[in-house]
Amino acid sequence: MRASQKDFENAMNQVKLLKKDPGNEVKLKLYALYKQATEGPCNVPKPGVLDFINKAKWDAWHALGSLPKETSRQNYVDLVSSLSASSESSGQVTPAADRKQPGSDALVVTSQDGITTITLNRPDKKNALTPQMYHDIMLALEAASKDDSAIAVLTGNGDYYCSGNDLTNFTDIPPGEVEDRARSGAVLLRDFVDCFIDFPKPLVAVVNGPAVGISVTLLGLFDIVYATDRATFHTPFSHLGQSPEGCSSYTFPKMMGPSKVIFGNLKTKCNVISIPKATEMLVFGKKLTAREACTQGLVTEVFPDSTFQKEVWVRLKAYSKLPPNAMRISKQVIRNREKEKLHAINAEESSILQERWLSDECMNAIVNFLSKKAKL
Ligand SMILES: CCCCC/C=C/CC(=O)SCCNC(=O)CCNC(=O)[C@H](O)C(C)(C)COP(=O)(O)OP(=O)(O)OC[C@H]1O[C@@H](n2cnc3c(N)ncnc32)[C@H](O)[C@@H]1OP(=O)(O)O
């Protein structure tokens, strides 16, 4: 059977996830087949002899002569599939990918076994979220809401789940444009969080490592949160001169419940007040371990790191075989009556944050991070 365009796109995504470098010879072969499959026979002038890299690429492409596009596509898919079989790719992302997100390699979307997996793929920056990634995640969620998968998963590649908003997003802003940027940032944030509120299928977070900032607050909008015991959950908003988002000002106190504080002594009358446990996280920036987050209702289940990927994916594959319409409808029954409220909270949080981004407290904290004075 001939490889389809979808198979070809799957293969392109799989290449990005290979753990083992396949070596220059194979990479040239992949390049040549890709060019032949997408553009046909080599039609560009030969680079000069001193332009070693481009000449090697040109030679590899040119060597394919008039190989038809369809055959090149098939050969590309076969080659990638043989590489994937021999490469030890990370447990959860071996399945063939089925879409390439526009504009960035920092997000990889795969779809297999009824599960669409959105993987944050910027491990060298601890999967910090750039504006492009916010846009691409929205696109991926939009596509996943319509594709034939039963559930969707968000996870991270590397040792972190996500280090939150990329703090360099706040740099290089010309002085006259600061307010405009804060305004457009708030619109993006609001649209982004709205996509999570409205996502119609079961949404699962596979928290493969520490999580910071918005990647934590969003967890209140997921239906299941599985975490490795290596994960931590940190919302250092006050440290950053910022304030909670992702509807966490509502979902966290609701999920975590109150902690009772008793004051007074035996001689005087004792008073009991209830403070949401979430306050310690959202106001004071207390970092929770995975077990603490589980006890407090933010995480569904914690797994030992050594078996995390295996156990979680076995579980999710089983869930994905359940009738998809029933799961979608059940999710809606559970979530729908809160939706309007969540949208209103999201709008409010985004507009408060827009103001915070303009504050000296926020600017100073970001400068501190960027000058490496502070490690949160
Ligand atoms: C549309 C806009 C929406 C905005 C929504 C608002 C959201 C609010 C938030 O998300 S607040 C949370 C923001 N995140 C942080 O404050 C985390 C900052 N990072 C750290 O504190 C640390 O990097 C760490 C604890 C995550 C990891 O520390 P570690 O020592 O293990 O590793 P490094 O610090 O050396 O990090 C490796 C490289 O990654 C870069 N990096 C990490 N996180 C971020 C980030 N959030 N933004 C930008 N860059 C980040 C780090 O700078 C290192 O880069 P380098 O190798 O080039 O130095």
Ligand 1: list residues with CB < 6 Å: 125-126, 128, 134, 163-168, 185, 188-189, 212-214, 236, 240, 242, 245, 369, 375-376
Q: In terms of DSSP bridges, do strands 203-207 and 115-120 run parallel, antiparallel, or are they unpaired?
A: unpaired
For residues 115 and 219, give the distance between their C-alpha atoms in angstroms, rounded to a whole number. Answer: 19
- Dist. CA 337 → ligand 1 center (Å): 35
* Ligand 1 pocket: which of 157, 188, 212, 214 to mutate (most atoms within 8 A of CB): 212
Residue 12 has a pLDDT of 86
Atom of ligand 1 nearest to the CA of 239: 16
Please report, in tens digits, the pLDDT of each residue of the chain (376 residues total). 678 888 888 888 888 777 777 877 788 889 999 999 999 999 999 888 767 778 888 988 998 999 899 989 988 888 888 887 765 444 344 333 445 444 569 999 999 999 999 999 999 999 999 999 999 999 999 999 999 999 999 999 999 999 999 998 887 788 788 899 999 999 999 999 999 999 999 999 999 999 999 999 999 999 999 999 999 999 999 999 999 999 999 999 999 988 777 777 666 677 777 778 999 999 999 999 999 999 999 999 999 999 999 999 999 999 999 999 999 999 999 999 999 999 999 999 999 999 999 999 998 988 888 886 555 6
Atom of ligand 1 nearest to the CA of 165: 10
* Residue ranges of domains in the chain, CATH in brackets: 5-86 (1.20.80.10), 107-374 (3.90.226.10)
Residue 92 has a pLDDT of 40
Report which protein residue has its CA nearest ligand 1's atom 28. Answer: 375
Atom of ligand 1 nearest to the CA of 369: 18
- Dist. CA 167 → ligand 1 center (Å): 7
ipTM of the complex: 0.99
* Ligand 1 pocket: which of 125, 126, 166, 191 to mutate (most atoms within 8 A of CB): 126
Supply the pTM of this predicted model.
Answer: 0.76
